[in-house]
A and B are shown apart, each in its own frame.
Chain A
Amino acid sequence: MAQEKLTVSNTIRALRFAADEMTQQTLADRVGVSRQTINAIEAAKYSPSLDVAFRIARTFGKRLDEVFQCRPSQR
């Protein structure tokens, strides 16, 4: 069954700056992952688990779809 490929993007960087320029390390400590994992998520090099995604959204007081967006991949 052929499925459409999806690209997941996020607004974490913008949300961090809006949250008093929160550092990646601070966000990582609050979420419970390494700073490099936050960096990889921001750069769309890693899609987090639902658990981590919800914890990131909760840290900023946002809904999940306000932090993570998904669109079909361009071929």
Chain B
Amino acid sequence: MSASFEEKSVWIQFGAMSVSLGAYFVIAGRMLASGVREMSAFVSMFIVAVVVMVVFMIVAYVLAALTGKPEDRDERDRLIAWKAEHRSAWLTAVGMLGAVTCMATGVDNVWTANLLLLSLALAEMLGFALKIVYYRRGV
């Protein structure tokens, strides 16, 4: 695949986030379904997911830097980033509104926090997916 360093960076972030946060939300979903309500259990699991994500990204960035010279972002990279973020921000807004609604209706804090995290993660994932589409199909 002939990809610029910026595009490789998007793939790395997309992969790291899919694996680590994907695993977190699968396990968190099962915990919520089985009635676990202690916030500390979710916080510690989330910290592990973030550490795994960071380690995955460091290793992948080193490999990407070894296989190709890192370059500065150019105008196409900036346009793609702007367009993708512009078209994925609505998911964060939906999550925020959902969280506010949860708080107003007295839903458990663990559910509210996970809903907020899910919306942030989905917005980022959608942004990465759109960037990949723009890099591959044109912008």
Contact = CB atoms under 8 A, between A and B. Distances in A.
A43 B138 contact: yes
Interface residues of B, number: 15
Contact of B75 (A35, A45, A52): A52
A49 B137 CA distance: 19
Interface string A22-33: 000000000011
A5 to B, nearest CB: 15
B4 A45 contact: no
A33 B138 contact: no
Size category, A interface: 10 to 19
A75 B29 CA distance: 48
B37 interface: no
Contact of A46 (B6, B7, B138): B138
A36 interface: yes
State the majority secondary structure of interface residues on A. loop
Contact of A45 (B2, B3, B74, B138): B138
Given A34-B6, A36-B2, A39-B2, A45 B71 contact: no
Contact of A33 (B3, B7, B75, B137): B75
A41 to B, nearest CB: 8
Interface of A: 32-37, 39-40, 43-46, 48-49, 51-52
Given A34-B6, A46-B139, 17 more contacts: A36-B3, A36-B7, A36-B76, A37-B4, A37-B74, A37-B75, A37-B76, A39-B2, A40-B76, A40-B139, A44-B138, A45-B137, A45-B139, A48-B75, A48-B76, A49-B75, A51-B75
